[in-house]
């Protein structure tokens, strides 16, 4: 009777995983040989793991990463000038705690988006809030927020996201409102949060794409000076994999 009351109380306190683990323990008489401390530790571990799993699931859902990518599946074998030691370091959280940035450069199809999402995935698994946005969509959302009065709310949200992934950066010349809005976003995040940029445009060409030299200089100042750079090279990964698939089929 007391056992069921205890289980009910654990459920009432929203300690569901601990309640389930306790019920399982009661169904395994051999666990009685363990000390009270060991059995309690097992219950606490179950609840802690449950909460961490839920938190990671929530962070990944909120991040809305474009690719279901993870560091463990990054292709280091295909030649594309990818520094494995740097990627492994970025899978940790030191650069995030230092509010540093990551800039991933390279031609179309070389795997910039996948790598950005893989690094962001690791950040989620380390407990950090992430948001993925393609640059055109980010500018559009900011413009809409400015028009409907939700601009302060959106800017506040963007400032609090620990890692903001901006994909397809400088994919097209920026308008004056876009570069001013981007500068506001980066200004609010400077020295507090990290930004991951993925782009096929070399850094030396960013000023031309941003348009206004003064605003471009301010934007670059907030992005590149404390950034880890990854310069990917080589052919499109999609093209390479397509060729391998055709080769496998022809060899059958």
Query: What does the pLDDT look like over 185-214, one tens digit per residue?
Result: 999 999 899 999 999 999 999 999 999 899
For the beta carbon of residue 3, count every other beta carbon within 10 angstroms: 11
In the chain, pLDDT over 70 holds for what percent of residues?
A: 91
Query: What does the pLDDT look like over 2-35, one tens digit per residue?
Result: 677 877 777 777 778 777 777 777 777 776 677 7
Q: Which pTM value belongs to this model?
A: 0.77
Are 59 and 130 in contact by the 8 Å Cβ rule? The answer is yes
DSSP assignment letter at 183: H
For the beta carbon of residue 133, count every other beta carbon within 10 angstroms: 21
The bridge status of strand 130-134 relative to strand 227-231 is: unpaired
C-alpha dihedral, 158 to 146 to 137 to 215, nearest 10°: -80
């Amino acid at each position: 009777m007391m056992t069921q009351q205890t289980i009910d109380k654990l459920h009432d306190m929203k300690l569901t995983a601990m309640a389930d683990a306790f019920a399982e323990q009661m169904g395994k008489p051999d666990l009685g040989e363990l000390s009270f401390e060991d059995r309690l530790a097992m219950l606490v571990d179950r609840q802690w793991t449950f909460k961490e799993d839920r938190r990671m699931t929530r962070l990944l859902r909120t991040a809305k990463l474009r690719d279901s990518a993870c560091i463990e599946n990054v292709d280091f074998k295909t030649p594309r000038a990818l520094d494995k030691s740097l990627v492994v370091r970025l899978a940790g959280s030191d650069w995030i705690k230092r509010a540093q940035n990551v800039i991933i450069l390279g031609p179309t199809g070389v795997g910039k988006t996948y790598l950005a999402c893989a690094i962001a995935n690791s950040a989620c698994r380390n407990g950090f809030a992430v948001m993925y946005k393609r640059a055109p969509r980010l500018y559009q959302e900011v413009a809409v927020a400015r028009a409907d009065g939700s601009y302060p709310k959106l800017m506040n949200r963007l400032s609090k996201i620990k890692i903001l992934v901006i994909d397809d950066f400088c994919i097209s010349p920026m308008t004056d409102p876009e570069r001013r809005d981007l500068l506001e976003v980066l200004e609010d995040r400077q020295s507090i949060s990290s930004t991951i940029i993925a782009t096929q445009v070399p850094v030396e060409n960013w000023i031309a794409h941003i348009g206004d030299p003064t605003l471009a200089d301010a934007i670059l100042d907030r992005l590149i000076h404390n950034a880890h750079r990854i310069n990917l090279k080589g052919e499109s990964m999609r093209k390479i994999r397509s060729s391998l698939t055709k080769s496998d089929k022809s060899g059958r």
